[in-house]
Amino acid sequence: MSLHDLSASEIARRVKAKEVTAREVAVSFLERAKRLDKSLKAFLSFSDDAALRQAEAVDLFVSAGKDPGPLAGVPIAVKDNMCVTGTRTTCASKILENFTANYDATVIAQLRSAGAVFLGKTNLDEFAMGSSTENSAFFTTRNPWDLSRIPGGSSGGSAVAVAARLAPLALGSDTGGSIRQPAALCGVVGLKPTYGRVSRFGLVAFASSLDQIGPFATNVSDAALLLQSIAGHDPKDSTSANIPVPNYSAALGRGVKGLRIGLPKEYFIEGMDPQVEKSVRQAVATLESLGAIVSEVSLPHTDAGLSVYYVIAPSEASANLARFDGVRYGHRSPRAENLLQQYEFSRDEGFGPEVKRRIMLGTYALSSGYYDAYYLKAQKVRTLIKRDFDRAFESVDVIATPTAPTAAFKAGEKSDDPLQMYLSDVFTISCNLAGLPGISLPCGFTSGSAKKLCLRPPTLSRKRPHGGECPRPRRAFDPAGKGGFGGRGGDGTRRSLVDQGQEFAGPSGVDFSERPFGERGNDGDGRAPRSGRRNGVAVQNFGTPFGCGIPVDARRKTRAENGALVSDGSGGPYRGMGPGRSIG
């Protein structure tokens, strides 16, 4: 089994056990990433030298008998809007094209001390504004399942890096769905933590009341591992929550029996891809069959979410991006003859169309005479949206919705119509507006693309509004949980996939065998899938049709099968997901 098939936790275990060196791991991932990135274009830059130095430092620790940390030697791809000392941090913008970070973002410093190795910086929509990576000033990243399609955005590069196993883990940022939507479209796990849970120091600000950094992983247990390393209070970010961080990994692996899942009727709308709806409903049915209690809930202000977001986010962006003036860093126009021109020309030349559009929109909404009608109004409706969730969480523990209304769309399909593109975020933005955590989990494929189910744990319990990702261990739900996507070592199922010639475990890469139901006795229903999971049968239900190896590599082989595919939902993934709980 090759290294890139391993889960992050398994890589760390092997590095610590001296079964493989961190250097070997880094070399292997760098080689693979560079080879496949020619067609995927997930990375804006690689940091080979720094990565190898980090890896060697980890190896030194190990050989000295010291513990290099929970992510010992684990390669991580970082969205290029976070500062990593000595690497370019461009935000996929020309205005920062030549900016080299001279300090570490807090998350980066935390990951360094956890033993992680940074492979490089991943592509995004410029300043994280977009849903497809088409707004990158440099190039568009390709969906590994179908290169003619976009990977989603804005953290598209990070999603692709993980989906194509160019890195076992990646960091993204989520302002309106920028982790969850690309995770959905690429078939990986993507988690947006509770607002305030992860420090944003060193993250280039987009919309300060919404931004949050979070993990991409191939399974939830790896996502928990990564979140554990980056969560916590940071005095350098005055919005970070000073609340103890629970042990996410320990909270995984509990059953769903008795878990109350709410399905908001407003999220199953006309215009939604019927295949997406079918898969999501199938997944929920599977959870129900495992003992979860499903009921309908209502989030009546759902239809206002998009409008609230597209007032608040651009308004905050217009203020945050005022700092790009061509004085201390970033692009400076050579045409300018005075200081005002230096500002105006530098910004006009440096920002791309979507960024300018949002700066214009935000400036307008904040301008004298319009502030009350737009910004203040949006903030008030935001309160109504938040109250919707508070009310819903009185009767349910989590809310399950589709992550996006459609699967991955073709490059160019929506890029001429900003409003259509904005609609890709319609199901994800309310989490940001309400400050809630949200996780996107694979639940099948449409013909050719992955789609997802998004579960929103109510980490904001009434008593502890922002108490963390699992304030009530018994209730907080990690939909994917340990038994679900990945399980502990996470390599069990993958091995079986590889055995079947499927070296890519991405969307189907769930580890059913590693941690069968029952350890907690929550599957007292004794459903047949149990043994199926163990022997990989459940995986085949949805994994085989794709037959996908590394998506890129396998494409030619599997294309013909793609049409037939479609996961059909079969609920496969969800059988595994059941027992999970709580990274929320």
Q: Encoding tokens for residue 575? A: 């059988």
Residue carrying the six token digits 């300043």: 127
Q: Is 341 in the site for another protein (CB under 8 A)?
A: yes
| Comparison of 304 and 537: residue with beta carbon closer to another protein | 304
Selected binder of another protein within 115, 120, 176, 435 (CB under 8 A): 435
> Kindly report the CA angle at 550 between 569 and 537, in degrees rounded to 5?
40
Selected binder of another protein within 20, 27, 285, 376 (CB under 8 A): 376
| Comparison of 422 and 517: residue with beta carbon closer to another protein | 422
Selected binder of another protein within 1, 60, 339, 564 (CB under 8 A): 339
**In whole angstroms, what is the distance from residue 564 CA to residue 249 CA?**
37
Selected binder of another protein within 144, 262, 264, 330 (CB under 8 A): 330
DSSP category for residue 302: G
Question: Residue 577 in contact with residue 441, Cβ under 8 Å?
Answer: yes
Selected binder of another protein within 381, 407, 505, 550 (CB under 8 A): 381
The stretch near another protein (CB under 8 A) out of 111-119, 427-435, 444-452, 544-552 is 427-435
Q: Is 103 in the site for another protein (CB under 8 A)?
A: yes
Selected binder of another protein within 62, 359, 505, 550 (CB under 8 A): 359
Selected binder of another protein within 205, 259, 263, 434 (CB under 8 A): 434
**In whole angstroms, what is the distance from residue 230 CA to residue 477 CA?**
20
Q: Is 534 in the site for another protein (CB under 8 A)?
A: no
Contacts of residue 75, defined as CB under 8 A and 6 or more positions apart, other chains included, come to 11, 25, 26, 29, 30, 51, 116, 117, 118, 119, 167, 168, 169
Q: Is 49 in the site for another protein (CB under 8 A)?
A: no
Task: Give the closest residue to 330 by CA, choosing from 72, 166, 126, 174.
Answer: 126
Q: Encoding tokens for residue 524? A: 């007292």
Selected binder of another protein within 345, 393, 477, 504 (CB under 8 A): 345
Q: Is 269 in the site for another protein (CB under 8 A)?
A: no
Selected binder of another protein within 357, 495, 527, 555 (CB under 8 A): 357
Selected binder of another protein within 83, 117, 361, 554 (CB under 8 A): 361
| Comparison of 325 and 525: residue with beta carbon closer to another protein | 325
CA-derived radius of gyration, the chain: 22
34 is catalytic: no
- Compute how many residues bind another protein; rule: CB under 8 A: 71
Q: Is 271 in the site for another protein (CB under 8 A)?
A: no
* Binding mask of the shown chain, residues 386 to 425, with x at each position contacting another protein by CB under 8 A: x-------------------------------xx--x---
Q: Encoding tokens for residue 181? A: 């939507």
- Three-class secondary structure assignment of 76-126: EEEECCECCCCCECCCCCHHHCCCECCCCCHHHHHHHHCCCEEEEEECCCH
- In terms of phi and psi (left: phi > 0; alpha: psi -120 to 50; beta: otherwise), the region of 233 is beta
Q: Is 118 in the site for another protein (CB under 8 A)?
A: no
Residues numbered 511-530 forming contacts with another protein, rule: CB under 8 A: none
Selected binder of another protein within 13, 257, 466, 555 (CB under 8 A): 466
| Comparison of 373 and 528: residue with beta carbon closer to another protein | 373
**In whole angstroms, what is the distance from residue 164 CA to residue 284 CA?**
27
**In whole angstroms, what is the distance from residue 231 CA to residue 155 CA?**
19
Pairing of strands 260-264, 117-122: unpaired
Q: Encoding tokens for residue 187? A: 């078939």
Residues in the chain: 584
| Comparison of 49 and 337: residue with beta carbon closer to another protein | 337
* Binding mask of the shown chain, residues 67 to 96, with x at each position contacting another protein by CB under 8 A: ------------------------------
Question: Residue 433 in contact with residue 419, Cβ under 8 Å?
Answer: no
178 is catalytic: yes
Q: Give me the amino acid identity at 248.
A: Y
Pairing of strands 189-192, 438-446: antiparallel
Residues numbered 176-215 forming contacts with another protein, rule: CB under 8 A: 195-196, 209
Residues numbered 29-48 forming contacts with another protein, rule: CB under 8 A: none
| Comparison of 102 and 113: residue with beta carbon closer to another protein | 102
In the set 7, 136, 154, 513, the catalytic residue is: 154
- The answer to whether the peptide bond before residue 154 is cis (omega within 30 degrees of 0) is yes
Q: Is 461 in the site for another protein (CB under 8 A)?
A: no
Q: How far is the CB of 196 from another protein (least distance, A)?
A: 5
* Count of alpha carbons within 13 angstroms of residue 449, beta-carbon side: 28
Residues numbered 287-316 forming contacts with another protein, rule: CB under 8 A: 301, 303-304, 306-308, 310-311
In the set 9, 16, 47, 79, the catalytic residue is: 79
The stretch near another protein (CB under 8 A) out of 267-275, 330-338, 484-492, 546-554 is 330-338
DSSP category for residue 463: S
Q: Is 248 in the site for another protein (CB under 8 A)?
A: no
Q: Is 245 in the site for another protein (CB under 8 A)?
A: no
415 is catalytic: no
Selected binder of another protein within 13, 34, 377, 555 (CB under 8 A): 377
| Comparison of 203 and 378: residue with beta carbon closer to another protein | 378
Q: How far is the CB of 331 from another protein (least distance, A)?
A: 7
Q: Is 352 in the site for another protein (CB under 8 A)?
A: no
Q: How far is the CB of 365 from another protein (least distance, A)?
A: 8
User: What order of strands is seen across the sheet that includes strand 43-46?
Assistant: 43-46, 117-122, 75-79, 169-174, 212-217, 189-192, 438-446, 449-456, 398-402, 260-264, 293-297
**Hey, how many other C-beta atoms are within 10 angstroms of the C-beta on 98?**
11
Q: Is 239 in the site for another protein (CB under 8 A)?
A: yes
The stretch near another protein (CB under 8 A) out of 17-25, 222-230, 252-260, 342-350 is 342-350
Per-residue buried b or exposed e for 64-85, using 16+ beta carbons within 10 Å of the residue's own CB: eeeebbbbbbbbbbbbbbbbbb
Under DSSP, is residue 160 helix (H, G, I), strand (E, B) or coil?
A: helix
| Comparison of 435 and 545: residue with beta carbon closer to another protein | 435
Active site residues: 79, 154, 178
